[in-house]
Structure 1
Amino acid sequence: MPQLENASIDSYLDDSYKGASLCGAVPSDASVRVVRALEDAGLEAWFVGGWVRDALLEAPSHDVDLCCSGTWRQSEDALLSAGVDVVRSGIRFGGITAIADGERIEVTAYRKDGFYTDGRHPEDVVMASSILDDLARRDFTINAMAWHPARGLLDMYNGVSDLSQGLVRAVGVARTRFEEDALRMLRAVRFACRLDFAMEAQTASALSECAHLLVSVARERVGIELSGILATRRGGDAMVRYPDLMCAAIPELQTCRGFDQCTRYHAFDVYDHIARVLTVAGELSAFRIDGGDPSCEVSPTLMWSALLHDIAKPDCFTVDEAGRGHFYGHPEAGAKKARVIMKRLGLCDNLVRDVCLLISYHDLPLYPERSSLLKGMSLFAGEGRDVPRLIGELFDLKRADTLGKATCCFSYVEEIERMREMVRELVANGDAYSIATLNLTGRDLIQAGVEPGPRIGQLLDRALDATIAGTAPNSKNDLLAYLRLA
């Protein structure tokens, strides 16, 4: 991390700043055009937020946010006069969106937030006269820096130092920041997971102390931030490091904490087992040797199912006469509970559907045999469902679940991988696992002399059972012959 010194706000604006860069990151021509348009109108503008942070980390960044000394109307007038289109995207908070050369650039007025009474939004937003006032209201030091092609970097809260040390630190008093806006707590965890940073000590302490305030935040916003945390592949770390906050986000996790599973197959309580499954699922999804792809985003279906796969275990717990714990029916009960949680968090219907399918069948006994695997695949068949993807993610979940147990279970991973390879071959060979993948249709049956009606469906079901059992190949003529219609 390069060490940069703060620039004076009053520095002379050099008109030749177009080629300037921050740690090698060059702002887009469109963003420079917007800055010029604002400053040609007598306003002051700075690059702020994620673009600055990512440039200092020498990481790619796509979104550009600018902060400007003018009101949103003044900024709008300046941009329109320069031929830049404007969308009034957030005028309540002093923001507009400039659209230059097809690029969307957020432009927000310097502001100071008023009092927070709902733990989420300020009662009013007051225009600030200085970029310093605007930076003072921001959440974390690594996000509270501003940069200008001519004036350089403005770092009033040692954000560069925290980037160098790998720390997420609240601006000012952490508890105050979280009491103002409780969602900032999940944002802190998301940044820590995304950047693989540690939480500064006082900020971490405030996360635990203020976790209960998360109840004031709309559940949909909580769902968005949790999805962001899971997308980093480090959701398991978040569970281990910030359990109070994660349980505040999903209260059903609280009963899992410290819940002894009373079985030799589990070395951890339910909560820690879930955290380890989430960690393993995330890590292995990034390694090609384990079937992952580091260049692709991790599957949200896999991550959410790993997080919620055992959510109903405490509800289903029984102990036999020998003192062994059992959780009969927990996959089905977990799917129902997961549906309630995910709907509450405002997650999309298709994601909820697929996650609940994986949870329902994550404990399903499967064997490295053709008929067993095809029957397993048939459980995932349905309109709009990507069965090969889902069965692959079922194996990912089973593998992570196995590696989150006691070491005596680890050998099952070899069988899981053998089954995964067999499924790939079955799909490549065109073996049927559903009516849709059967090489026989209702039209074929009608052409063979079957009257339209319920018997069509019955015959197709018989044909599917036959090809899954290996009694008949998945071809039209062989299936018609099996049904004695050829």
Structure 2
Amino acid sequence: MLEALESAGLEAWLVGGWVRDALRGAPCHDVDLCCSGSWQQSKRALEDAGIRVIESGIKFGGITAVALGERIEVTTYRLDGFYRDGRHPESVEYAERVEDDLARRDFTVNAMAWHPVRGLLDLYGGADDLSRGIIRAVGDPRRRFEEDALRMLRAVRFACRLDYIIEPETARALAECAPLLTAVARERVGVELDGILATGRGGDALLRYPELMCEAVPELAVCRGFDQHSRYHAYDVYEHTARVLTVAGELSLCSEDGRTPATAPSATLMWAALLHDVGKPECFTLDESGNGHFYGHPELGAAMAKRIMHRLALPSELIRDVCLLIRYHDRPLRPERSSLLRMVNLLSAGTDDAARLIELLFDIKRADTLGKAPSCFDYVEDIERMRLQVRALLGAGEAYSLKTLALTGRDLIAAGVAPGPEIGARLGSALDAVIDGKVANETAALLDYLRLR
């Protein structure tokens, strides 16, 4: 594609994330070309070379070239006009030089260009920042964030994804410009937050960039410095949340065999860790001995999480699962058959994926425990013991819901029970008996138990 463009008398470079990740020795799935020609000139040059073109972003001088199964974005050199909405330039002016195009980009690590003959063009020290693990704004960071406030969350996402730090001047601008985030559409904020959490380093984001994270989720602001007045908690609500996020992320990135899995941490677990205690400040009470209590905070937290996640336009299935985990994350569990199966039953409400959710519930309980005072850490052994018990129960086909019960309404009707409310009552009685270990989850045994045979 680059040769096709330059054979037509244009100049072209590979730019952005592909250059950054290539210098890191990391794979990259998005390849961008920047070209001196207008999008019409680029399109003509590519089509003359037999390359298919899609007019994907012509408003901003961009097209998509498709060849050999690869889709490459090709964009004209440009300068951005004034950003009235703090997100999109009002106008785009085409530039003659690649240097002008690089000057408008967000961070130094993304403002490099490479050509197979001319080599690396690095005007802002991006390669050096890569080697030092630094995210730095191109030019004046305040100006970059005032142009596009979403860049602030992108900075945090890059820092978390690459395990880098944001250099001090850029970090100061993050804190000072955080209120600008209110101008950004909430669904865009949700996408960036989801990307931050997907790195498994959301706890770092909370601790290092609290002003920005609390602007993204304002309900977190009241958690900062909120003393829990509890011997079970060594940290305030906000720092506890950050530590739970950190533990959940780190343990998710370590498989049981000690190798790092290829998949990102569960989005359900990460969002549940972020919001699991968001209801605590509103539920706080102090008893006569000076001990803090948070009665009802899981239920309130689930309701608040639902509102927050809807506001951020997150998927409904994700919201449902996160709210289930938050609602039950603090409910006591005993290493007993009935206690464990009844919890799986609660998690099965509205979903057929209770087996996955119970694993995530143990994950959030484990992370929550390790984010408290050290005196609580022994409970992790109980959690892991109960996890193994549940796996054994589910592996043996034990029932935890009417869907998993080896008895149906049709079976009861065939046995002579009249259709109506009695069907549901008898099925519920049979399920309770199975959960309590009084009868095996087998059709014949259940009919005998109900005295229908």
Compute the TM-score of the two structures, normalised by the length of structure 1. 0.91
Shift of 1:450: 2.3
Matched residue, 2:330:
363
Matched residue, 2:340:
373
Partners of 2:357 and 2:189 lie apart in 1 by 26
SS of alignment partner, residue 379 of structure 1: helix
CA contact (8 A) 2:399 2:441 kept: yes
Matched residue, 1:440:
407
The one-letter code sitting in structure 1 at the alignment partner of 2:106 is D
SS of alignment partner, residue 154 of structure 1: strand
* Aligned counterparts, 1:401-412, within 5 A: 401-412=368-379
> Are 2:315 and 1:348 equivalent residues in the alignment?
yes
* Aligned counterparts, 1:213-228, within 5 A: 213-228=180-195
The one-letter code sitting in structure 2 at the alignment partner of 1:321 is E
Matched residue, 2:237:
270
Matched residue, 1:190:
157
> Are 2:132 and 1:161 equivalent residues in the alignment?
no
Q: 2:92 aligns with which of 125, 133, 140?
A: 125
Shift of 1:454: 2.6
Matched residue, 2:37:
70
Shift of 1:449: 2.3
CA contact (8 A) 1:285 1:291 kept: no
Matched residue, 2:196:
229
CA contact (8 A) 1:310 1:334 kept: yes
CA separation of 1:385/1:290 partners in 2, compared to 1, >3 Å: closer, same or farther? farther
Q: 2:393 aligns with which of 404, 408, 426?
A: 426
Partners of 1:293 and 1:471 lie apart in 2 by 42
Partners of 1:293 and 1:310 lie apart in 2 by 28
The one-letter code sitting in structure 1 at the alignment partner of 2:141 is A
When the two chains are superposed, the root-mean-square deviation of aligned CA atoms in Å is 1.2
Partners of 1:463 and 1:421 lie apart in 2 by 25
SS of alignment partner, residue 288 of structure 1: coil
> Are 2:433 and 1:466 equivalent residues in the alignment?
yes
Q: 1:392 aligns with which of 359, 365, 372?
A: 359
Shift of 1:443: 2.0
The one-letter code sitting in structure 2 at the alignment partner of 1:185 is M
Output one character per residue of 1:79-134: Cα deviation in whole Å (capped at 9) or x when no partner.
22222222222111111111112221111111000011111111101101011000
Shift of 1:451: 2.7
Partners of 2:323 and 2:215 lie apart in 1 by 22
CA contact (8 A) 1:145 1:156 kept: yes
SS of alignment partner, residue 256 of structure 2: helix
* Aligned counterparts, 1:268-307, within 5 A: 268-289=235-256, 294-307=261-274
CA contact (8 A) 2:78 2:93 kept: yes
User: Relative to structure 2, which stretch is displaced further, 438-447 or 399-408?
Assistant: 438-447
CA contact (8 A) 1:48 1:145 kept: yes
The one-letter code sitting in structure 2 at the alignment partner of 1:304 is W
Shift of 1:238: 0.4
Output one character per residue of 1:170-216: Cα deviation in whole Å (capped at 9) or x when no partner.
00011110111110000000000010111111111111111111111
The one-letter code sitting in structure 1 at the alignment partner of 2:405 is L
> Are 2:174 and 1:202 equivalent residues in the alignment?
no
User: Relative to structure 2, which stretch is displaced further, 223-232 or 96-105?
Assistant: 96-105
Partners of 2:67 and 2:227 lie apart in 1 by 58
CA separation of 1:292/1:304 partners in 2, compared to 1, >3 Å: closer, same or farther? farther
> Are 2:276 and 1:309 equivalent residues in the alignment?
yes
CA contact (8 A) 2:18 2:32 kept: yes
Partners of 1:373 and 1:399 lie apart in 2 by 16
Partners of 2:260 and 2:98 lie apart in 1 by 42
Matched residue, 1:22:
none
Percent of aligned pairs with the same residue? 68
Q: 1:452 aligns with which of 419, 426, 446?
A: 419
Shift of 1:293: 5.5
Output one character per residue of 1:14-62: Cα deviation in whole Å (capped at 9) or x when no partner.
xxxxxxxxxxxxxxxxxxxx21222222211111111110010001111
Output one character per residue of 1:401-440: Cα deviation in whole Å (capped at 9) or x when no partner.
0000011111110000000000110111000000111111
SS of alignment partner, residue 54 of structure 2: strand
Q: 1:90 aligns with which of 34, 37, 57?
A: 57
Output one character per residue of 1:345-392: Cα deviation in whole Å (capped at 9) or x when no partner.
110000000000000000011111011000000001144431111000
Shift of 1:291: 9.0
Shift of 1:290: 8.4
Structure 1 stretches of 4+ moved >4 Å: 290-293
CA separation of 1:160/1:107 partners in 2, compared to 1, >3 Å: closer, same or farther? same
Partners of 2:397 and 2:169 lie apart in 1 by 58
CA contact (8 A) 2:111 2:126 kept: yes
Partners of 1:468 and 1:348 lie apart in 2 by 33
Matched residue, 1:16:
none
Partners of 2:416 and 2:311 lie apart in 1 by 51
Partners of 2:100 and 2:237 lie apart in 1 by 46
Matched residue, 1:179:
146
How many pairs are equivalent?
453
CA contact (8 A) 2:200 2:264 kept: no
CA contact (8 A) 1:336 1:356 kept: yes
CA contact (8 A) 1:257 1:270 kept: yes
SS of alignment partner, residue 88 of structure 1: strand
Partners of 1:388 and 1:103 lie apart in 2 by 38
The one-letter code sitting in structure 1 at the alignment partner of 2:295 is Y
Partners of 2:37 and 2:351 lie apart in 1 by 49
Shift of 1:236: 0.1
Q: 1:143 aligns with which of 84, 87, 110?
A: 110
Matched residue, 1:49:
16
CA separation of 1:440/1:293 partners in 2, compared to 1, >3 Å: closer, same or farther? farther
CA contact (8 A) 2:86 2:180 kept: yes
* Structure 2: runs of 5+ lacking an equivalent: none
SS of alignment partner, residue 288 of structure 2: coil
Partners of 1:390 and 1:284 lie apart in 2 by 16
Partners of 1:283 and 1:168 lie apart in 2 by 22
